[in-house]
Structure 1
Amino acid sequence: MAAFARGKAQRLARADGSRKGGLDEGAAAVAVVQLLNARDPFCTTSSCSGRLVLLQGGAADINNCEIQKKNCTWLMVTHEMCVKDDVMAALEKATGDVVLKFEPFVLHVQCQELQDAQLLHSVAVDSGFRNSGITVGRGGKIMMAVRSTHCLEVPLSHKGKLMVSEEYIEFLIHVANQKMEENIRRIDRFYKSLESALQTAAGANDSPSEGMERSRSVYVHRRKRKTVHEQSVCTSPKDQHEELKSEDDIENNLDIFADITI
């Protein structure tokens, strides 16, 4: 615990190494980072509130992802909804291959214990970030990634030449703005659910046995089925089928993804 606290203090004291050099705009995203860092078991390592980007790579690099990544240029980036005029103005500066991308909220958090990561993972999935996952490194480092799948990536120009119509660009901007709106709603939902879950967990610490039982009920989904002989009342085959179907639907809706590597 002491080692985690020291590492957290050192990391938070470092200068921001991102391209921007600070937290993205967006009250909810900033609040999530501050909420987690104010709790001893969590330390955020990187985040992006969600953004719309016009990304240019060299035309000769179209088949080489590594080189294209090194030589890419941001013609436009915004963490808010955008308008057609801004996109068209940025495209006028294009000399290579340009891609319009929407990237949703992403957050990486180092967690002190696996149960801390599990709590965060459960809240993230329930809030709509269904691509979230937990990784445990060989040294025992526990990382939780909050991710979503509602991305957008569309090529617009090749060697500086616009390959689509302005009408299509206007349509893409509308789609991207809708995704940004949904992204903001998910972040807000995530913050409120996380705040509630952390308060509940803190209260449960006063009663270890109760806290353990709550933790299990939040993250571990146990399928409990009773046969007709075990039930105190008789049920028809149709009723049994509906009950099993309902439980299967609940399990599918959890959609928990946890990629753990030892």
Structure 2
Amino acid sequence: MDGDSFQQWKNQCLNKCDFSKKGSVDEDISHVVSFINSQDRYFTTSSCSGRIILFDAVSDCPDVQKQNCSWLFVTHQKCQMEDVVRNHIVRGLEKSVGDATFKFEPFVLHVQCKQLEDAQLLHTVAINSGFRNSGITVGKKGKIIMAVRSTHCLEVPLSHRSHVLVTHQYLDFLVGVANQKMEENLKRIQRFSECLQAALQPQEEKCSFKEADNKTVYRRRRKRTQDVSVTDSSQNTQEHHENTEEEIDCDLLFLL
């Protein structure tokens, strides 16, 4: 891809308004997004740190689109069990006029890459961090998009035609499962962030780290060699002492 075209796309994307419902980058991934956008070869096009949502959709509609849904509850953090179940989710279900669905959606990140090998590097980092559903797409205009995705989702229908199908006890259980998935999601985000920084650190730093590792290995080897030398010396001294004692004993026997 031409460098000027990529930089132009990057400037346009990063300078445009955020049209998401929240209107800003989620706090738990702001450091990841900032780091990627600081790189010459990448920029983010969309992101979500992960969320727990309750939405209401039109009954008997085969295609559930965002514009046809009413969001009854959403959080990008773990749910507080008592507060959510007794207030937000229950009240949300009471407002449902169609089919209410409870969902957990994990971290998702879309990154435009300058070259295919840049996308492949990012893909490797994502897979190794636990985001096994990640993939690369190449558009007709040459845009290379790397999507960081995971598979540990959760989607459960709670009502049909405004009729609630589950008990409060089951809602408690669902919230607990969603919270566990959110915890695992945050761990994977942290792992992804650490692996990404290690993969994209400047070559000079990699060389310095490698030299430091080599020096450490050399010091360990030298110490091991010294320890072996000391051990051998001690063994030789002991053997010499034993041999001397044997010679003295032999001399005494000869004199007797």
Q: TM-score range by the shorter chain?
A: 0.7 to 0.9
Deviation at 1:139, TM superposition (A): 2.0
Question: Taking structure 1 as reference, are residues 204 and 143 closer, same or farther at Cα in structure 2, changes over 3 Å only?
Answer: farther
TM-score with structure 2 length normalisation? 0.74
2:132 to 127, 130, 133: 130
Aligned to 2:214: none
In structure 1, how many angstroms separate the alpha carbons of the residues matched to 2:173 and 2:46? 31
TM-score with structure 1 length normalisation? 0.73
Give the aligned residue type for 2:30. V
2:120 to 110, 115, 118: 118
Deviation at 1:51, TM superposition (A): 0.3
Deviation at 1:3, TM superposition (A): 1.7
In structure 1, how many angstroms separate the alpha carbons of the residues matched to 2:120 and 2:42? 12
Deviation at 1:63, TM superposition (A): 3.5
Deviation at 1:191, TM superposition (A): 0.3
Which sections of structure 1, spanning at least 5 residues, go unmatched?
Answer: 208-262
The 5-angstrom pairing of residues 86-165 of structure 1 reads 86-165=88-167
The 5-angstrom pairing of residues 234-253 of structure 1 reads none
In structure 2, how many angstroms separate the alpha carbons of the residues matched to 1:147 and 1:44? 14
1:182 to 181, 184, 188: 184
Please tell me the root mean square deviation across aligned C-alpha atoms, in Å.
1.8
The 5-angstrom pairing of residues 62-77 of structure 1 reads 62-65=60-63, 69-77=66-74
In structure 2, how many angstroms separate the alpha carbons of the residues matched to 1:150 and 1:5? 34
In structure 1, how many angstroms separate the alpha carbons of the residues matched to 2:66 and 2:98? 13
Which sections of structure 2, spanning at least 5 residues, go unmatched?
Answer: 208-256
Aligned to 2:46: 46
Aligned length: 200
Q: Percent identity?
A: 54
CA deviation string 1:217-249 (max 9, x = no partner): xxxxxxxxxxxxxxxxxxxxxxxxxxxxxxxxx
In structure 2, how many angstroms separate the alpha carbons of the residues matched to 1:7 and 1:69? 26
Bigger radius of gyration, 1 or 2?
Answer: 2
Give the aligned residue type for 2:189. I
SS at match of 1:92: helix
The structure in which a higher percent of residues are helix is: 2
In structure 1, how many angstroms separate the alpha carbons of the residues matched to 2:32 and 2:206? 25
In structure 1, how many angstroms separate the alpha carbons of the residues matched to 2:144 and 2:70? 33
SS at match of 2:89: helix
Question: Taking structure 1 as reference, are residues 160 and 137 closer, same or farther at Cα in structure 2, changes over 3 Å only?
Answer: same
In structure 2, how many angstroms separate the alpha carbons of the residues matched to 1:49 and 1:4? 26
In structure 2, how many angstroms separate the alpha carbons of the residues matched to 1:135 and 1:10? 20
Question: Taking structure 1 as reference, are residues 205 and 24 closer, same or farther at Cα in structure 2, changes over 3 Å only?
Answer: closer
SS at match of 1:6: helix
In structure 1, how many angstroms separate the alpha carbons of the residues matched to 2:30 and 2:206? 30
